[in-house]
């Protein structure tokens, strides 16, 4: 990032690149507090998909069955995973043999160059047409789609282990299960993190919560947000990937409440006839 002082106009023009909008906001706020100049912000935000034309070095896909996307460069800690069926990701930064990439769900993370296949920088925007539910929005689905969502999630019950950052057959974490179920059943792309999923759709109360709604809960005694899918047709269940049980399970509300304290319910989809 660099700045340019336009003295006669008393303007401070900011140029350069930052990764996140929050970083830009912090810089602008700090300069506003320290300077009387008018701040003109021309910074490029690498992670902003609206600017992908000028911030994408290249597009790529997983080059092997499962690719771990790491939270930090060179670390083993998974942010998420890539599989070959995923939509292309875009490369924001190359650093040695690693790339900082952004997936279609807007997750950021690092991969090694030999784990991926490059598709070329001038690929026509492969994210065009991706459906991402927004805040306050309800996506209309056919009645059969709700069953499809539940059945997709149920396929992982008792068969798939918990894996932090996982969203593949190797393992799923709580938000990974929700993401995979909505993508495979309804072709909707949700963010990877539970707190980001909580910003979507419409708030409902626990009494209104019904099949297909998401329940967000804190792990008891910890400030960690967990997410599960509600099933209220017949026997009530919460389908979730549980760290303490080490797998995906469909649990009774009573069982769920032994380990989790609900902090919110969200509805993302609406059945239409």
Measured CA to CA, the distance from residue 86 to residue 89 in angstroms comes to 8
218 versus 247: smaller Cβ distance to another protein? 218
- According to DSSP, the residues that pair with 225 across neighbouring strands are 218
Q: Considering the complex, what minimum distance in angstroms separates the CB of residue 223 from another protein?
A: 5
Contacts to another protein from residues 222-251, by CB under 8 A: 222-225
Q: By CB under 8 A, tell whether 206 contacts another protein.
A: yes
* Closer Cβ to another protein, 2 or 207, answer by number: 207
Regarding 132 and contact with another protein (CB under 8 A), the answer is no
| Region of 37-45, 53-61, 216-224, 234-242 interacting with another protein (CB under 8 A) | 216-224
Q: Does 131 bind another protein (CB under 8 A)?
A: no
Task: In whole angstroms, give the CA distance from residue 262 to residue 4.
Answer: 49
SS3 content of the chain, % helix, strand, coil (to 5): 20, 40, 40
Stretch that binds another protein, among 5-13, 126-134, 248-256, 257-265 (CB under 8 A): 257-265
**With respect to another protein, which residue has the nearer C-beta, 181 or 225?**
225
Displacement of CA 179 from its chain's centroid (Å): 8
Which residues, other chains included, contact 25 with Cβ-Cβ below 8 Å and sequence gap of 6+?
Answer: none
Position of tokens 């709580």?
174
Interaction between residue 72 and another protein (CB under 8 A): no
Residue 20 in contact with another protein, rule: CB under 8 A = no
Number of residues that bind another protein (CB under 8 A): 16
- 164 forms part of the interface with another protein (CB under 8 A): yes
Kindly list the catalytic residues: 174, 226, 240
Do 255 and 265 form a contact (C-beta atoms < 8 A)?
no
Of 125, 115, 6, whose CA–CA distance to 55 is shortest? 125
- Provide DSSP, 141-156: E-HHHHHHHHHHHHTT
Q: Footprint of another protein on this chain (CB under 8 A)?
A: 164, 195, 198-199, 203, 205-206, 216, 218, 222-225, 261, 263-264
């Amino acid at each position: 990032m660099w700045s340019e002082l336009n003295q006669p106009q008393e303007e401070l023009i900011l140029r350069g690149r930052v990764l996140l909008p929050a970083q830009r906001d912090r810089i602008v706020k700090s300069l506003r507090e320290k300077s009387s100049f008018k701040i003109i912000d021309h910074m490029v935000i690498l992670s902003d998909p609206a600017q992908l034309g000028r911030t994408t070095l290249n597009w790529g896909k997983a080059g092997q069955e499962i690719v771990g996307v790491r939270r930090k460069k060179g670390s083993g800690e998974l942010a998420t995973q890539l599989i070959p069926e995923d939509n292309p990701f875009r490369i924001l930064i190359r650093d040695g043999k690693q790339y900082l990439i952004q997936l279609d769900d807007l997750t950021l993370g690092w991969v090694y160059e030999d784990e991926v296949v490059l598709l070329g920088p001038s690929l026509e925007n492969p994210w065009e047409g991706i459906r991402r539910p927004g805040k306050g929005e309800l996506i209309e689905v056919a009645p059969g789609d709700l069953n499809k969502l539940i059945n997709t999630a149920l396929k992982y019950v008792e068969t798939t282990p918990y894996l932090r950052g996982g969203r593949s057959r190797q393992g799923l974490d709580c938000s990974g299960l929700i993401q995979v179920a909505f993508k495979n059943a309804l072709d909707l792309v949700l963010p990877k993190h539970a707190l980001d999923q909580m910003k979507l759709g419409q708030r409902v109360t626990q009494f209104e919560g019904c099949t297909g709604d998401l329940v967000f809960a804190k792990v008891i005694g910890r400030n960690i947000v967990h997410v599960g899918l509600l099933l209220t047709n017949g026997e009530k269940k919460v389908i979730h990937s549980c760290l303490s049980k080490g797998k995906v399970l469909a649990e009774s509300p009573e069982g769920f409440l032994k380990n989790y304290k609900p902090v919110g319910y969200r509805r993302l989809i609406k059945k239409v006839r």
